[in-house]
C-alpha cells in the first residue's frame, strides 16, 4: 500500500480548498482525502459542507452512498476480493470465507493489529482468471483460500 499521511485537520482543509472551484467538487474531494489519508475522516464532512455551502446531511449522504469510500483508515495491507458472478462460480465465496476466518474478521473490517483490511468489490474485470483479488492494488487470479491468506500476510 502507498504511504499515507496521518490525519491533520489543516491538511484536510488544504485539500478541500484546492478543489472548491471544481464543478461537482464533492466526489473529487472524497477521492483526494482518501488518497491522502486512506479514508475520508468524519471531520471533513463539516469542512466540505462549509466550503461548498452545503448541509452536512448532503455531504454525508453522498459519502455514505458510495461504498468505495472508507470511514476509517485501512490496514497496512488492503485485500479486495471480487464477489461478482464469475468469481463466485469459480470458488470465490469459499476462498473469501477461508481468508476471513483465518483473519478473524468480516467484510470491511481490519484485523485488531491493523495489519489487514478485507473489502468486497463487485467486478475486477479479471473474469478469465476467476476468482480474483487485488492485494495492495496488485491483481491476483485463480485465488484460493490459502493463496489469499499468504498474500494477506506477506
Q: What is the pLDDT of residues 6-45, one digit of tens each?
A: 999 999 999 999 999 999 999 999 999 999 999 999 999 9
* Predicted confidence band of residue 2 (pLDDT cuts 50, 70, 90): low
Please check whether residues 135 and 95 belong to one and the same domain.
Answer: yes
Q: Give the residue numbers spanning the domain of 98.
A: 77-153
Q: What is the mean pLDDT of residues 129-149?
A: 97
Encode burial over 63-91: b for 16+ CB neighbours within 10 A, e otherwise. Answer: beeeeebbeebbbbbbbbbbbbebbeebb
The pLDDT of residue 67: 82
Please check whether residues 42 and 81 belong to one and the same domain.
Answer: no
19, 54 contact by CB (below 8 A) = no
Q: Which of 65, 88, 104 is the last residue of a domain?
A: 65
Please check whether residues 95 and 139 belong to one and the same domain.
Answer: yes
E-only strand ranges, the chain: 77-82, 116-121, 133-135, 138-140
Q: What is the pLDDT of residues 81-136, one digit of tens each?
A: 999 999 999 999 999 999 999 999 999 999 999 999 999 999 999 999 999 999 99
Residue of 35, 53, 61, 56 whose CA lies nearest to 44: 56
Give the CATH number for residue 88. 3.40.30.10
Please check whether residues 102 and 52 belong to one and the same domain.
Answer: no
Please check whether residues 32 and 91 belong to one and the same domain.
Answer: no
Please check whether residues 83 and 111 belong to one and the same domain.
Answer: yes
Please check whether residues 86 and 43 belong to one and the same domain.
Answer: no
Please check whether residues 27 and 92 belong to one and the same domain.
Answer: no
Does residue 89 lie in a domain region?
yes
Total domain count for the chain? Answer: 2
Q: Which residue has the cell 452545503?
A: 54
Amino acid at each position: 500500500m502507498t504511504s499515507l499521511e496521518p490525519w491533520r485537520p489543516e491538511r484536510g482543509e488544504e485539500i478541500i480548498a484546492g478543489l472548491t472551484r471544481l464543478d461537482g467538487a464533492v466526489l473529487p474531494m472524497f477521492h483526494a482525502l482518501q488518497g491522502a489519508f486512506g479514508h475520508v475522516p468524519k471531520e471533513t464532512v463539516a469542512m466540505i459542507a462549509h466550503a461548498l455551502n452545503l448541509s452536512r446531511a448532503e455531504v454525508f449522504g453522498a459519502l455514505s452512498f458510495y461504498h468505495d469510500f472508507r470511514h476509517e483508515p485501512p490496514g497496512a495491507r488492503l485485500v479486495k476480493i471480487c464477489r461478482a458472478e464469475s468469481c463466485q462460480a469459480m470458488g470465490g465465496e469459499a476462498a473469501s470465507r477461508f481468508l476471513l476466518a483465518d483473519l478473524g474478521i468480516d467484510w470491511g473490517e481490519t484485523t485488531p493489529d491493523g495489519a489487514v483490511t478485507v473489502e468486497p468489490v463487485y467486478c475486477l474485470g479479471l473474469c478469465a482468471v476467476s476468482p480474483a483479488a487485488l492485494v495492495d492494488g496488485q491483481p491476483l487470479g485463480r485465488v484460493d483460500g490459502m493463496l489469499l491468506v499468504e498474500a494477506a500476510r506477506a
